Structure 1
């Protein structure tokens, strides 16, 4: 049993009682209409972790005293829930199915760390839940994690595991970065070379791009279309939307290596390009031609089928498709006669306007199909189509400009929530790149800039942490960089906190002491508060010294 004062993220209100509910082999679970999915999930995870059979109850009164009830309450808001543990048992009521599920996650925390294990420890089946009344609702609609599976591929089982970890922290958006210069990770049946050629590279830069070290083992992998369907369905069961990212027009060398006609063939011999094996900003970008437009329309037609807009009730975010749009050098377009002719024919001022046209084409194409384009803040350059949204990564400025122009915003500034960046300034951090952002730094991050008016602030959908994978080549490395800082981001996104300077980090650390035991039970290889363990260090693998220059993503 865990105290209701040790929950992460912190709920809006907790009134502790003086007793406890005892769940035993005789306890039953009632799932009212609309809550059946959470009922199945909760029964399965608790049966697995504790051995409690939690047989189905046909009526709520069958749970009296030692059972669990799940109900919808139309008086509560989206994702809002109320959990009451008293002499009548445990009752979770939610404003929608997602709210009931969030409440079930809180119940799991109250049951103690062993509720997160994959098998019972064989002790007494009885589990206790402290008497309490908990009222809770999220601050933001968009509470996300971006996983970059393009630089280093994460096998399907790893993605499913991260969806479980997100659900445990009440996050509801997986931003799925599927394509980049270093790899194409999603099967597109009409363009098979995207995975046959584009999903693997011959070698990989080890460490920061300035490092002289290489890993000469070929690296690759991709998700079949059925893998994607499974991931999306698994996420939907946990009320998580999956937002796919297909990068255009930059970060596209893997696609050009597979289909050279997509590149600027009048400037570069694209037939000689391979999937990129190092990091940085790549000069090889897509050509602004009808061939490219038709090719990516075909790609997106399959993407839309795999990521249906109604896959989950998680606040409608599954309607979004991310098109990247960042870090697109224009040198090849300036040298390309084809690009110049297109710019002139469209009556555009320059190459920045050409990218705006390119982005606008896909914003309109997606809108015609009931979807919304979202991209990194560079897509603001030259103007942005109505209805498109912005991921503000280069600080707050892009998000402020987008909100003032009437666009929705997801705040994810690299200076605050890039979790591939170092967690400490000490020399023992593995592959230390980017800004130092400690657990406390992330906890004091504020997604809504003070410069915005209340109306403009309403354009901030929420926030997400970004986990780029150049230097996180396996599950243990991803875990180390993401946790425990993702727990802090989750609280920032979910809980209603005071201004950053007034936040009680000492209390958060106190609650994290209990949360580390949950992460231990889940097998998360997080960074300990005292620093990396010996096997978590990476001596000799170069990072990027903190030289004051903002690191690119």
Structure 2
């Protein structure tokens, strides 16, 4: 029998008699595995009718400190299931694989079949290549209700991902409550309308859009993810992508904006934070709230796409540059981000920022999300920074999936399932001694053109399945992946994922009212080369 799990395990040997789960099949959880056992019971039990009472002779969960942290060994035979993980996280990864070995009906939330539930005979030894296997979910452009975020967490966990990068703020919306700054969510969380398609077409839907999370919403998301061994990395993008905050508190801006509202069009606003002590105090208040709600080591501060027009025109910004002896506005941004990084360091947190933070010099110890091709990844590693590879031409899942005119709002380069699978997080040209600096990879789900969980499903899957296998480290055989994908799509069906059909979009997927802006790969690569020409990583 071929093992059709996604991602594929590092080593799998199938054959021999398997094991059948029945309503009375016991489950034994060694100390340290109790939480994983509870997750298995409440997740698998409703569809299978299996209660998994405590006891020996059925499913055994245990720890093996000799294995990698997220590694596991899984053996299924006539005497039962034995799963040993290097940590509770390793046990959980093994349970996800075990879950995929069951018939798809076992993945549903209630019983649709009576069972029994056969598991094939198999011996698996597995561990990930990368420590950071992430996916960004942009809830700023289109607000996603908490229940939909939790569902997305489950789908990420099902594919062995372990980081959820939650993009909470942008020009078009602010989703994070901050004590002392109530207008961030009463004003900054709402926009009057949204672009229909690419903003350059000038179309508008005329409908208000917005929403914000409560503190308890965010605590729930963090706790829910932690139960699935996923770390939530929050991002508050600064000093650019701040029009929503400036709409709420105009004193944070440079006083030069023609339109003080939350941005209604996609694209990049020229409104940015000023560089006053007031703005820095605002950033510290925001980041204190982030640290209070998100216990992980990393905090995303953005640092990307910050136009310097307002700073060049602002007497206050120019005076700040002179007082600090800074040569240009890139250095001013570097200084600003350095103060932010110092504050986060005082809270025991690490900066996570887009590769623009290299311009003028990235804060010491920052981890760089390299999105503009392999060049910034190499420069960041050479400058001593950890790198998460997420180039837009490989893993931006808002990009169109084919040249079919029925693709909804086709933007960016064509990024097929095979293109995503061909991605290697370690960039060419990186010296072997620096490859450990590439701590992982991340796929990004930007939601300008994804107004609902249904649209996210279509754009993310099955491309996120391909990415998950690359990030786990068992990619390289697209034909093998494609052969396994048919069985995996049946699992997605059972999980209720409305993925893009492999043979192309259906009529209801099209968005003729929301035209896009397709780009050729050559055009985009030339654009990226120009954007990063002066990047020196200093």
Band of TM-score, shorter chain: over 0.9
3-state DSSP of counterpart to 2:408: coil
In the TM superposition, residue 130 of structure 1 has moved relative to its aligned partner by: 0.8
Matched, 1:424 2:397: no
Q: What is the aligned partner in structure 1 of residue 301 from structure 2?
A: 323
2:263 to 276, 280, 291: 276
Say which of 514, 521, 527 aligns to 2:494. 521
Q: Find the counterpart in structure 2 of residue 299 from structure 1.
A: 286
What 5-or-longer segments of structure 1 have no aligned partner?
309-317, 498-502
> Which residue of the partner structure matches residue 83 of structure 1?
74
CA deviations on 1:219-267 (whole Å, 9 max, x unpaired) are 00011000000000000000000000001000000000001100002x3
- Larger mean CA deviation between 405-414 and 203-212 belongs to 203-212
- 1:8 pairs with 2:19: no
Structure 2 distance, partners of 1:257, 1:286, is 11
Asked whether the 8 Å contact 1:412–1:464 carries over to 2, the reply is yes
CA deviations 1:131-166 (Å, max 9, x no partner) are: 110000001000010000000111101100000000
SS in 2 for 1:55: coil
Given candidates 111, 130, 134, the residue that maps to 2:120 is: 130
Is 1:216 aligned to residue 206 of structure 2?
A: yes
Q: Is the 8 A contact 2:129 2:471 kept in 1?
A: yes
**Other structure's SS at 1:84 match:** strand
Alpha-carbon RMSD: 1.4
Alignment of 1:383-402 (within 5 A): 383-402=361-380
TM-score, normalised relative to structure 1? 0.93
Compute the displacement of 1:539 (Å): 2.2
Asked whether the 8 Å contact 2:425–2:440 carries over to 1, the reply is: yes
Map residues 75-474 of structure 1 onto 2, 5 A cutoff: 75-121=66-112, 123-265=113-255, 267-268=256-257, 273-308=260-295, 318-474=296-452
2: distance between equivalents of 1:422 and 1:239? 31
**Which deviates more, 452-461 or 208-217?**
208-217
**Counterpart in 2 of 1:538?**
511
Measured after TM superposition, the shift of residue 211 of structure 1 is 2.4
Aligned length: 526
2-structure distance, mates of 1:349, 1:109: 57
Q: Structure 2, unaligned stretches of length 5 or more?
A: 532-538
Q: Please say which of residues 539-548 and 3-12 is displaced more in the overlay.
A: 539-548
> How big is the shift at 1:425?
1.4
Of 476, 479, 484 in structure 2, the residue corresponding to residue 506 of structure 1 is 479
User: Counterparts of 2:206 and 2:142 in 1: how far apart (Å)?
Assistant: 14
Q: Determine the C-alpha separation between the residues in 2 that align with 1:489 and 1:456.
A: 23
Is the CA contact 1:416–1:445 (under 8 Å) kept in the aligned structure 2? Answer: yes
For residue 126 of structure 1, report the CA deviation from its aligned partner. 1.6
Q: For 1:260-299, what per-residue CA distance to the aligned partner results, in whole angstroms no more than 9, with x for missing partners?
A: 100002x346xx5111000111100000110000011011
Q: Deviations over 1:359-402 (max 9, x none)?
A: 11111111121100010000001112221110001111111100
The partner residue of 1:56 within 54, 59, 69 is 54
Partner of 1:313: none
Deviation at 1:486, TM superposition (A): 0.1
- CA distance in 2 between partners of 1:231 and 1:167 (Å): 13
SS of 1:214's partner is: coil
Determine whether 1:37 maps to 2:35: yes
Which secondary structure does the structure 1 equivalent of 2:279 belong to? helix
**Equivalent-residue separation in structure 2 for 1:53 and 1:278 (angstroms):** 51
Q: Matched residues in 2 for 1:260 and 1:115: separation?
A: 53
> Does structure 2 conserve the Cα–Cα contact (< 8 Å) formed by 1:4 and 1:132?
no
- Superposition deviation, residue 22 in structure 1: 1.2
SS of the aligned residue for 1:461 comes to strand
2:534 corresponds to: none
Contact 1:419 1:468 in 2 (8 A): yes
- Distance between the aligned counterparts of 2:94 and 2:241, measured in 1? 40
Residue 47 of structure 2: SS of its match in structure 1?
Answer: helix
Q: Tell me, what secondary structure is at the counterpart of 1:323?
A: strand
Could you tell which deviates more after superposition, 75-84 or 541-550? 541-550
Does the CA-based 8 Å contact 1:392-1:412 persist in structure 2? yes
SS in 2 for 1:147: strand
Q: Given that residues 398 and 445 in structure 2 are in contact (C-alpha distance below 8 angstroms), is that contact kept between their aligned partners in structure 1?
A: yes
Displacement of 1:504 in angstroms is 2.2
2:120 aligns to what SS in structure 1?
strand
Question: Is the Cα contact below 8 Å between 1:408 and 1:459 reproduced in 2?
Answer: yes
Match of 2:536 in 1: none
Who is 1:500 aligned against? none
Tell me the distance in 2 between the aligned counterparts of 1:88 and 1:495. 31
TM-score calculated relative to the size of structure 2: 0.96
- Once the two structures are TM-superposed, the CA of residue 4 in structure 1 deviates from its matched residue by 5.2
SS of the residue 1:235 aligns to: helix
